[in-house]
Structure 1
Amino acid sequence: MSFLDDFKTRNFSLYGQWSGILTIIICLAVGIASIFTFSVGIIIFAAVCLATGLTLIFVEIPFLGRICPISENFTNFTRRFNNNVPRAGFYFLLALVQWFSLFVRASSLIVAAVFLTITSFCYALAAVKKQEFATSSALGGAGFAQQII
């Protein structure tokens, strides 16, 4: 399955995963950019945004959890989010943290908050529509090992 095939399925869980990949890139970029400000509060939220991006890499790309040396506790933590409802809640919680950065000062961290919210909405919509949780085979989901061989 390719990127376009994933979008033809009309499964919001797959939409959530692809928007999650975009969210990872945005969290890392915005976190790095915001860490060079002179506001201690924004620096703290930027560090949280960076940690969020790094954590989401292992949540959204299951193949990396198999090839990277990570602890058993972290593996168990990421496995908790193998369903639409937990992922929607996790993304919503992470978005809420970034929205709280507005109390310090408006910054580019708003972009991360918006994309975290959009991804949360995709997973929540998949849960409401009772769509099966799916991961893209292009990102290490079902059938990825067969593609390598």
Structure 2
Amino acid sequence: MAITDYFKISGFLQDMKSRNLSLYGQWIGITCIFLSLALGIANLFHINVVFIFGIIAIVQSPILALVEIPFLLKIFRIPDSLISFIQQLDTNWMRALFYAVNAVIQWLSLTCMATSLLALAILYTINVFCYAGAAILGQEFHQSNVVATVHVSETPAEAQIRNVL
């Protein structure tokens, strides 16, 4: 099986043309994963209390990865309680609430000092508007078309064994 069996590059173009705000929110969320990790590390070196918000940003990054990239739940060993929490976030309103909490946390970092975490707070806020807008417009919650869903029955036996090893 080739990599194209698991990742459809044309799916990104389909996502952008779909005009579904939850898909836009998912792509902004994926951007937030990397930005959260990078800005969290960058803000660890402040002598001010801001380094606590840097640590929080670093912790937010893997949580966002599990929320926005669902196949990671199948790859890593994760407690069932965390999986059930993440599965509860599979609606537009719950994602909007999740990102609102993250945004408030990062906006609070401005009370200590204006840092690059402002960019993260802004992206979280944009994500709140994407998911809330999708819910208000009655758009269904969708996952991205980039990651193909491959069922075990469709996978050759050699690939199943490789996946286990």
Aligned length: 144
Q: Deviations over 1:33-77 (max 9, x none)?
A: 1111111x1111111111111100000000000111111111111
* Structure 2 equivalent of residue 2 of structure 1: 11
Contact 2:88 2:94 in 1 (8 A): yes
* Structure 2 equivalent of residue 43 of structure 1: 51
What's the TM-score, normalizing by structure 1? 0.92
Q: Deviations over 1:2-52 (max 9, x none)?
A: 11111111100100000100111111110011111111x111111111111
Matches within 5 A, 1:138-149: 138-139=146-147, 143-145=148-150, 149=155
Contact 2:30 2:68 in 1 (8 A): yes
CA RMSD of aligned residues (A): 1.4
Matches within 5 A, 1:120-139: 120-139=128-147
> 1:120: Cα distance to partner?
1.1
> 1:89: Cα distance to partner?
0.8
Give me the identity figure in percent: 41
> 1:86: Cα distance to partner?
0.3
Q: What one-letter code is carried by the residue in structure 2 that aligns with 1:144?
A: T
Contact 1:87 1:120 in 2 (8 A): yes
Q: What one-letter code is carried by the residue in structure 2 that aligns with 1:109?
A: L
